[in-house]
Structure 1
Amino acid sequence: MGIVIVEVCDASLINTLNIEEVLEAEYPEVAVIKSDCLSFCGICKLKPYAMVNNKRVFAKTPEECLNKIKAKIDEELAFYS
């Protein structure tokens, strides 16, 4: 299990990308967890989003969201450096 946890709601628009495969291949310290619901009712249908170490990351497009997730991961990993 990684030191950075990325949680994704099954209904999130971010799921148009295979972020689990992308993130876990690029960052061995990351664990991606998919959940039925993350209790942010409605946001998953409006914008792509995920939780990175319990911090919400969202954007207008899945690609932009993935870039923001990567930036947040880098920020979290810098804490452990």
Structure 2
Amino acid sequence: MKLENAEFLTKVFLQVSADLNSVVYDDRADSGEHDPDYLKLRRGIGEVLGVLYSEVMVKVFKDFPDLTPAMLRDDYEDDEND
């Protein structure tokens, strides 16, 4: 993968993650933490972000470690040492 593509994917991943997490946060405030619809939304968004991270971004960050965001660096480095 080209560096430019990796940079673009990182930017998109971080923005999508922030946007989807914002939706979850707002819905929790509106619905309540135990509302079944909120829990379903949170689970679905968590699955989407989890697959995007594990299937795409882990490879990007492995190939281009400098692109790994600081907030993910500790988790990623721990996985590398296992």
Q: Which is strand-richer, 1 or 2?
A: 1
**Higher share of residues assigned helix:** 2
Bigger radius of gyration among the two: 2
